[in-house]
Structure 1
Amino acid sequence: MRAKPLSTIGLDADDTLWQNEQFYRLTEARFASLLADYAEKEHLTERLLEAERRNLQLYGFGIKGFTLSMIETAIEVTEGRAPAHVIRQILDAGREMLNHPVETLPHVPETLERLAGSYRLVLITKGDLFDQERKLAQSGLSEFFDAVEIVSNKDIATYERIFARHGDGPDHAMMVGNSLKSDIIPAIAAGSWGIYIPHDLTWSFEHAVEPVDAPRFKRLERISGVVEFVKIVNGEW
């Protein structure tokens, strides 16, 4: 039998299925207040972003790398004089992020329930293994997924490999997410559909220009729109 035009749907996790970036922003504000005597907030934010970018190859994506980057930035802006109590509070902030309850985004559970069974659903997310597994377990969404892939990076080869392993290849797959850079552009380049669902807060590292001229690009304002769109793709409407 020929594969359906669309048989597999990949979904990003952070800020697609549940809140994530808002906790980073709150912790950044807390970090800035801790070091207010040493640098202005805007300068601290810039230095922290530089440290995060610099450390991605070492620590990868996630809260642990973010916490280490905050400590590194604190040491740099204080010229090695960061008080021990400041370092301790940064570590406390990181632990609080790792223990924060999961907050699923609107329409997510009912959307996954409607898609499950009719399509292979694959969770494709970057970040720390333990933290992403924790969030998935706490979200109550794990029952909807046929496979879970926690990866160090999302590039063309990642989507080619995952959609070949868990589906009928990229040509018969769709990736849904809030990051143009990680979820949409490489998935389209691999041959898949890329469904962009913007989030109010997206880390600047994930920003990119919308590929509006790409035939397999679609922007939806809410995840519930995926249900109707996949039916259109498969000619069911």
Structure 2
Amino acid sequence: MKNIRRFYSIPYFFWLLFFVIAPVILIVYQSFFDMHGNFTLSNYHTYLTSKTYLMMTVNSVLFAFLITLMTLLISYPTAYFLSKLKHRQLLLLLVVLPTWINLLLKAYAFIGIFSANGSVNDFLRFIGIGQKQLLFTDFSFMFVAAYIELPFMIMPIFNALEEINPSLISASRDLGANNFETFRRVIFPLSLNGVKSGVQAVFIPSLSLFMLTRLIGGNRVITLGTAIEEHFLVTQNWGMGSTIGVILIVAMFIVMMLTGEKRKGGRAK
């Protein structure tokens, strides 16, 4: 049996090696070279001493935090509501369906919705508010990013809520707790693992968004993902682009450590 398991694990390890470990090693390796192929530490020195890069990092973290917070505030009530419905699996499928649509198509759809002659401005003119600049704003960028990330927050929270033993909720109510106390003391703590998984799934990709910053934010929103794209495709400074990539990888591990499930004595708390 062990030999069979090892045999079936071979494709997984090859995938991990060639598509996860090898690219990370290449990025770290490339970050120590300048545009002329000379070994240097100047890329890291430039990043750590440049106000532009540091402000870009702060903006990336801030936008990622706001997108994650907006997504969480929408996703938790949605997942909780879905978990109480009879046909929740069908409705959950409707939540997942937008992920089957190409990201570029969704971005262009929102360009039409938020444009000067889009449906939102048509509605604002109809109710007498008048036309507003909706596209190429921080709000439109965060709104579209949160919409795209919603399923990745809803799914883990929904799964965590589904795994809660109903007898625990019944026991809480039998002991005199009202609905709010039951939620605060039983349901929410038991669903925290789903919340943490959702935060990981939303916050980490939000740090490196670049296509939405151009199409929806109109380059007003500058993130580390935008800088990486510029260095690789425009300035051809792969070393600096790789350095920023390394910073994102480090940030990813930090987020995973902060939101990971802590274990004590070999068992989850």
TM-score, scaled to structure 1: 0.31
Answer with 1 or 2: which has the greater Rg.
Answer: 2
Which of the pair is proportionally richer in helix? Answer: 2
Which of the pair is proportionally richer in strand? Answer: 1
TM-score, scaled to structure 2: 0.28
